[in-house]
Structure formats: structure tokens, C-alpha cells
Structure 1
């Protein structure tokens, strides 16, 4: 009886966490901070939990790319594609070759770093908006250096990914991409491509636990639809604080659990 109650509770938590993750991703990002720990709570091994969570949340990224495709800068697509494919595949392969215990001990650090990255994304986003509002002379971009800066970011996306979006935007801005819409659309495209390469790698290797993945995918999609309806009405700074607090709380829990 106790085992049955525990199993039902874990399924209920997975459904709720996936729905919350979909809402968070639609509004501000950071949905993995709740959906990944929920996958671990189902008893899935750490590496497989990360792989399954990545596959479950990826369709939401694809719909975002479709919505923003008109803002993409065509001249940067070869760089974004190359860095995303190489980085996403290599990150996923390294994850699959990471020992379960090693990755479990890395989880709280990954969550903490991702939370801090997400926390400083607010000031960086404001800097990017202010920069995009200034008049600029369009200059040719240094595409090769940009590729080598984006490659490790895309590797991180393939390996774990949470909190990496603003790193892509920062790299692009530092190399001369000035329009905010272009920055945002290229960020979403790079994250979607990197995760897609990771998804293919995880599926090919058999690392995805499909019955949990499909549950999470469905309810994350529902949450994403609901979140999209309210995204424009919510204060972005409040949402960002909620995401950071959630990520830090999850990191603290895993530090305690591993200790």
C-alpha cells in the first residue's frame, strides 16, 4: 500500500513539475530546474534523467523557433548551425560517457551555476536592449572567432543546458549583433539546434525513458500553452527571481542529499 501511494505521488509530482516547467519556459525560461529533479524523483538514473528531460522539453523550443523565424539573420545561420551541431553532439556524447555517480555529484553545482547565470541575465538583457536602441553602423562580423566562442556554450547546452540562453545572446552582442529581436531569435535557434542534436544522440543511444518522457512532454506542452497566454502580463523581473530562487532551492536540496 505504501509503495503504491509513493508511486502515485511521484507520478503526480512529475505531471505537476512538467506543467510548471512548461509555464516557466514560456514566460522566462528555467523549466529544467523543476522538471529535471522530478525526473530523478521517479528513480531514473541521473544521466538518463537529464537525457529524458531534454527530449521532453525540446518540442517547446521548436515552436518558439517557428514563431521567431522572421527575425533570424541569414548571414549568421552557418555559424549558428555549425556551433550548435558540433557543440550539441559533443556535449551529449560526453554526458553519456559520464559515470552516474559523477554526474549525480555534479547536479547541485550545475543547478547552482545555471541559477546564478539566470540571475545575472536580467542586467545583461537590459544592457543588450540599451545597446540595441543606440544607432550603430553595420559592420561585417568576425564569423570564425564567433564560432569558437559559441562552440563551448553549445557544448554546455548539449551536456546540461539550463541558463545558457543569455550566454549566446551576450556572445552575439559582443561580436556585433545589435538588434534585440535578432539576438533573441538566434538564441532560441542555437538552443533548439543544440538540444535537437543532443536529442538525436540520446534517442540513438537508448538513454531516453520513453514512458516518463511522453508524460512530461504532454504536460510541459500544456503548461507552455497556458504560460504563453499570461507571459505578457507578468513582470519579467519577478519571474526571473522566482526561477533563480527555485534553482537555488533545488541545488541546496541536492547538496543536502549528496552530503
Structure 2
């Protein structure tokens, strides 16, 4: 019962983090490994368990979506689902060691881009003498690879999305947070469908159920909290989460 309660609390924390600024996987995955699950199983189970929480957060944000460049919301979401499914397939077919080794550096790069990304488009424009920005096709291509990474490993994929949109389009992290949550739900949903049918996540039903319930509660509460935060505070919270998760992942490695 104590272990189940700890899994429930972990799910609440992971769901809330995903809704506010990202990083839920960095809470859920190490906790599941600590509870005795094999790393690949824990990776897949965390993705399945976090889906309902991500969907709950997306529902809260459904009226606050802002376009990402010239790409439509439907096209972006479709690409996220396809990429998430491809990444999940790679997780089941390939060893996770390569992405696990690269994850701290990917997260560190995303954190730096988040911190300074809003200034990069203006700086590049001044150097090149013309405006810079991603075309709708470039946005969709970038989203596909991010979604594939999200299906494969998932750590910091939401933070990396904000970083890409920030440097490529000059979008504000706080204003883009609702779209990030929706795309995260799309990535996790397609990956979870494959994991349910092709992995052994159902071998630990009590753990899965506890984290799932916690993630729903945390995702719903976290999204409502994020909506009430001032833009500057939300932006700072997202960056703080990114910095903390980067440090923790380097220490873990």
C-alpha cells in the first residue's frame, strides 16, 4: 500500500509538471525503475500512464491554443501522433542506451534555447539583414522529429518543443504552453496505443493504475494553476523546471 501511494504521488507530480512546464517523464521514469521495473518497461509504462493526465490538461487549454507559425493545429497534431508512433516503435525495436546517453545534452541545449531563444531571431535578423523564421513545412518537419523523440524517450520533449518554437518563430513560452500541452498529449497517445499492444506494460496493473489516477489529478490541477499564473511567472516556472531537470539528469547519469 505504501508503494502504491508513492506511485500515486509520483503520478500527481508528473502530471502537474507536464501541465505547467514539462519534465514529468523525469519524475515518473526514475521512480518506476526504483520500484523495480526494467528501464524499457518503465519508459513505456510512464508514457501510457501520463496520457490521461496530458489529455485532461489539453482539455483545460482547449480554448487557448495559438497557431505555431503557419502550420494548422490539425496538421501539427497529426504529425505529432505519427512521430510519436514511430518513436514508440523504435523504443521496442532498438536499445535505449543511445538516447539515454544523449538526453542530458538534449535537455541542456533545450534549456539554453529557452533561456535565450526569444533574442536569437532578432540577433540573426540583424546579422543577416533580413527576417528569419521557420516555414510551415519546416515547423511540421521539426515537429515530426521531436514527436519521434517523444515516443522513443519522452524526456523534455515538451520543453524542446517550446525551445524550437521560440528560436524558429520567436513565440513566447507562456503563450505557447497550451499548444505544447496538446501536442504532448498527441505524442503520448499514439505511443501509448502501441505500448499497450506490443509491450509488457500490463504486467504491472496496480502500478499503472496508481500512476494513471495520479497523473489525471495532477494534470488537471496543474493546467488550472498554469492558467492563473502571470505570463512572466509561468515563463520563469517553465525555465526553472528545465534547469532543475537538466541538473538532475546530469547527476543521474
The whole-number CA distance in structure 2 between the counterparts of 1:93 and 1:117 is: 25
* Structure 1 partner of 2:210: 215
Task: Tell me the TM-score normalised to structure 1 length.
Answer: 0.72
TM-superposed deviation, 1:216: 0.4
Aligned pairs for 1:22-101 within 5 A: 22-70=15-63, 71-73=65-67, 76-99=72-95
User: Of residues 218, 224, 227 in structure 1, which corresponds to 2:219?
Assistant: 224
Task: Tell me the TM-score normalised to structure 2 length.
Answer: 0.74
* Structure 2 partner of 1:4: none
* Runs of at least 5 residues in structure 2 that lack an aligned partner in the other structure: 123-133
What's the Cα RMSD here? 3.6
Aligned pairs for 1:1-259 within 5 A: 10-70=3-63, 71-73=65-67, 76-99=72-95, 103=96, 106-107=99-100, 109-110=102-103, 112-113=104-105, 115-117=107-109, 119-120=111-112, 122-124=114-116, 127=119, 142-172=135-165, 183-209=176-202, 210-228=205-223, 230-231=225-226, 232=228, 235-236=233-234, 237=236, 240-241=239-240, 244-253=243-252, 255=253
Q: 1:243 to 1:10 in 2, by over 3 A?
A: farther
Q: For 1:123-180, what per-residue CA distance to the aligned partner results, in whole angstroms no more than 9, with x for missing partners?
A: 257559x9xxxxxxxxxx8433332222211111111122222433454466658587
Q: More deviation in 164-173 or 86-95?
A: 164-173
TM-superposed deviation, 1:56: 0.9
* Runs of at least 5 residues in structure 1 that lack an aligned partner in the other structure: 1-7, 131-140
Q: 1:105 to 1:196 in 2, by over 3 A?
A: same
Corresponding residue pairs, total: 236
The whole-number CA distance in structure 2 between the counterparts of 1:115 and 1:75 is: 25
